[in-house]
Amino acid sequence: MNSHWRSLPENLHLSPGNPLLPGAMAHPQGVYFSVFSRHATGMILCLYESPHDEEPAQSLRLDPVSNRTGDIWHCYVPELRAGTLYLWRAEGPFEPREGHRFNPSKVLIDPYAKALTDGSMDLCSALAYDDQASEKDLSFSDKPNDGCMPKCVVVEDDFDWEGDTPLNYPLKDCVIYETHVRGLTCSASAKAKHRGTYRGVVETIPYFKDLGITSLELLPVQEFDSSERFRRNPLATEKLSNYWGYAPIAFFAPKTSYAFPEGADHDSFDPAYPVKEFKYMVRELHKSGIEVILDVVFNHTAEGNELGPTLSFRGLDNSVYYMLADDRRFYRNYSGCGNTLNCNHPVMRTFIRECLRYWVVTMHVDGFRFDLGSILGRDERGNLLQNPPVIESIAEDPILRDTKIIAEAWDAGGAYQVGSFPGGRWAEWNDRYRDEVRRFWRGDDGFAPHLATRITGSSDLYLKNGKRPFHSINFVTSHDGFTMNDLVSFHQKHNETNGEQNYDGLNENYASNYGIEGPSDVPFIEEIRNRQVKNFFATLLLSIGTPMILGGDEFRRTQKGNNNAYCHDNELTWYDWALLKQHKDIYRCVKTLIAFRKNHSAFRREDFFRGLSHDRTQSARRATGVTEIQSPEETAPDILWYDEQGKPPQWENLGKVLITRINEHTAARDLRCSYILAFNASPEAIQIRLPHDHEPDTWKRVADTSLPPPHDIEEEDYPMLADQKDYVMAPRSFLLLISSLDVIEDKPAVSD
């Protein structure tokens, strides 16, 4: 037996313990345990000596009198230490029509478990699944599942944080990079020593720093069921898996397999190793100034529908933890995954809040993105609440007050709350931004006015609710859908390898292949695709709001047209870092745009544009109490709009061109910088009249996506335009000009 797995002391006994200590808590002389169950009639603590034990070394029955306070079963076991392996058994009625599914044959994961021995074990094995049950006794099976269940680990939270605390940058200053812990470095092209792991993320820090992002948003790292119902790729032989991780089984535990490089023997490590590795990753990212945001899944679990496996919540108290249908044998399914957590039940509310606090206080994360966040707003019957208690409690929790909270403001049951998600300070994934930016650059008619609204912070969605532009998480692509390369390379999805006959995934992606479906070596087509990728990034990174980049888009990562690659843990989804060299011009463009955004506060506004002149003198008089009449001195409006002739646009008649001037002021309201952003989504070249509303307006070119590198975007010493009157924009191109009163010395004039 490995030294990490200790033989249990003989003749262990229980004492009452403490109901206020949830989960398992190590003490110098023993371990406290507690678990919630309102309807259980008995509770048994099962202790194991190794991860693959098929039966417990000892089973300790809790006394319902001395070891129960209200709905909490609790005990203290002297002589146990950190590293102890355990599971629970719950006795009670198996009455599906009443919503109860107790089954003492099944060992259960502690919902508060801080680590599991191996969450990648095949939880869909016949021993864990109850799919052989008759219709009369849905999901009952007396087959024990100890052998195929990961064991909970008693964790001692000792770690040298070296003074680390969460960074908690203001959202307005963030550039979020959405990525997958395993996929980031799993490919051999990553050349990582610890491929597919938390340490692999750490090894990527120099790349993140060079790119300039501020925040990593990680796809689920809370322990999840990796299996995928025995399905296989119909076009190959490999077994599919739950790669994305949206099937949680232990919300407090970091994904075990992400701690171990390929081929490592899990049993040869300290059972708390995954917790330490996660903390190490966070600490090292923070040292480099990079935040950690977790994608969390509090809307459903891996237990699925009435025929799914009994792993934890179902066996502990099904009728409390889940939303049940009117026929209580079945589950309400607003997640699309078979079940829905009863988030606004007081017990579940407490669980969610304590879980978030743990990840912030103990694991030092900076924020959370809530998958299918609208489910958090439903009551036990699925009705959307006006003031959902759990959403409000998260927003107002004093410990989470500085923590980022981002909602995916919809669910699979039809709720759609983008712009109206309740709870005050919540930010939201803005899919309106995604779709309308895509449609504009595809060349759809009538989308120039929509683009104007999106790049200025989506005031139509957020202003009326008292929110700020940074509450809009702007994105063009995310893990769910096409990569940016595929957005400009495929007209339709190609999900055949998912085994669902290409029915899964969004049908409408607002994509274009520009002449050939899939990869192309035709120079003209590749040039258009490259330009469109740059157009998307320029739009995203110069829009008001909080930008989010899908990892790998900056070097045109592809999933071969698969827009729902949730089940592929292979080269289809792993980052091919060889593309970084192939598309170094894209990477350079993105890197330079990020730096420009970070260096120019006009694109990180806290408030919406007003479009009005500002009377500095009147403002100063109000501030100082001076009342005598003085001559007003107006400054430039913060934003102006133009048509191609330099005149105010007729919005209803706009074609596929949008031109705006953003004026950036000093704290004293003096004009400091002006910027021209021009968008041409038409397949034709256009000539635009450059505005000269203020003297001296001297325009210099920062970016023109139609130009070859390195002139597509200048890193410094922006060249002054030889022609200050007009500018010819190429088809499907973006233009950024700057006029700065701070710049004295300029490069020689160039002709464009």
DSSP category for residue 174: -
Catalytic-residue membership of 371:
yes
Task: Give the β-pairing of 248-254 and 291-296.
Answer: unpaired
In the CATH scheme, what architecture does the domain 636-740 have? Sandwich (2.60)
Question: Scanning the structure block, which residue is given the tokens 């990569």?
Answer: 483
In this structure, what is the dihedral angle of CA atoms 582, 584, 589, 593, given to the nearest 10 degrees? Answer: 120
Give me the CATH topology for the region 23-153: Immunoglobulin-like (2.60.40)
Separation between Cα atoms, residue 347 and residue 350, nearest integer Å = 5
Q: Which two tokens stand for residue 346?
A: 């007081």
Residue 61 β-bridge partners: 44
Q: Look at phi and psi of residue 189 and say left if phi exceeds 0, alpha if psi is from -120 to 50, else beta.
A: alpha
Q: Is 34 helix (H, G, I), strand (E, B) or coil?
A: strand
Burial 529-547 (b: 16+ CB within 10 A, else e): bbbbbbbbbbbbbbbbbbb
Separation between Cα atoms, residue 451 and residue 447, nearest integer Å = 6
Q: Which two tokens stand for residue 387?
A: 């003031």
Type of residue numbered 1: M
DSSP category for residue 162: T
Q: Look at phi and psi of residue 541 and say left if phi exceeds 0, alpha if psi is from -120 to 50, else beta.
A: alpha
Q: Do 23-153 and 636-740 show the same overall fold?
A: yes
Stated as kind and residue range, the H or E segment containing 287 is: helix 273-287
Identify whether the C-beta of residue 701 lies closer than 8 Å to the C-beta of residue 719: yes
DSSP category for residue 734: E
Q: Which two tokens stand for residue 333?
A: 């399914």
Separation between Cα atoms, residue 5 and residue 153, nearest integer Å = 11
**pLDDT recorded at residue 628:** 38
CB-based burial label for 466 (10 Å; 0-12, 13-18, 19+)? exposed
With a cut of 50, say whether residue 623 has pLDDT above it.
no
Backbone phi and psi for residue 424, each to the nearest 5 degrees, phi listed first: 75, -95
Separation between Cα atoms, residue 296 and residue 369, nearest integer Å = 6
Binned at pLDDT 50, 70 and 90, residue 119 comes out as low
Where in the chain are the domains?
Answer: 23-153, 171-603, 636-740
CATH of span 171-603: 3.20.20.80
DSSP category for residue 325: -
**pLDDT recorded at residue 4:** 64
Binned at pLDDT 50, 70 and 90, residue 670 comes out as confident
Q: Which two tokens stand for residue 601?
A: 């506060």
What does the DSSP assignment read for 518-539? S----HHHHHHHHHHHHHHHHH
Q: Which two tokens stand for residue 209?
A: 């720093």
Work out the end-to-end distance of the chain between its first and last CA atoms, rounded to an integer number of angstroms. 73
With a cut of 50, say whether residue 547 has pLDDT above it.
yes
Identify which of 491, 484, 436 has the alpha carbon closest to the alpha carbon of residue 458.
436
Residue 513 β-bridge partners: none
The model carries a pTM of: 0.93
Type of residue numbered 236: A
Q: Which of 371, 431, 486, 554 is catalytic?
A: 371
Catalytic-residue membership of 408:
yes
With a cut of 80, say whether residue 89 has pLDDT above it.
yes
Q: Is 142 helix (H, G, I), strand (E, B) or coil?
A: coil
Rounded to an integer, the average pLDDT of 418-428 is 94
Say how many CA atoms lie within 13 Å of 126 toward its Cβ: 1
Rounded to an integer, the average pLDDT of 544-552 is 98
**pLDDT recorded at residue 356:** 98
Identify whether the C-beta of residue 676 lies closer than 8 Å to the C-beta of residue 691: yes
Mean of all residue pLDDT scores within the chain: 91
With a cut of 60, say whether residue 106 has pLDDT above it.
yes
Q: Which two tokens stand for residue 307?
A: 């025929």
What does the DSSP assignment read for 182-247? HHHH-SGGG--SSTTSHHHHHHTHHHHHHHT--EEEES--EEE----TT-B-TTSSPBP---S---
Separation between Cα atoms, residue 688 and residue 678, nearest integer Å = 9
Identify whether the C-beta of residue 431 lies closer than 8 Å to the C-beta of residue 419: no
**pLDDT recorded at residue 741:** 67
Q: Which of 306, 408, 643, 664 is catalytic?
A: 408
With a cut of 60, say whether residue 751 has pLDDT above it.
no
Type of residue numbered 487: L
Separation between Cα atoms, residue 484 and residue 536, nearest integer Å = 8
Order of strands, sheet of 68-69, starting from the edge strand that comes earlier in the sequence: 23-27, 30-36, 72-78, 68-69
Separation between Cα atoms, residue 520 and residue 667, nearest integer Å = 50
CA distances from 651 to 439, 611, 659, 681 (A): 17, 15, 12, 16
Rounded to an integer, the average pLDDT of 652-675 is 87
**pLDDT recorded at residue 299:** 97
Binned at pLDDT 50, 70 and 90, residue 175 comes out as very high
**pLDDT recorded at residue 120:** 57
Identify whether the C-beta of residue 602 lies closer than 8 Å to the C-beta of residue 662: yes
CA distances from 331 to 305, 314, 323 (A): 6, 11, 6
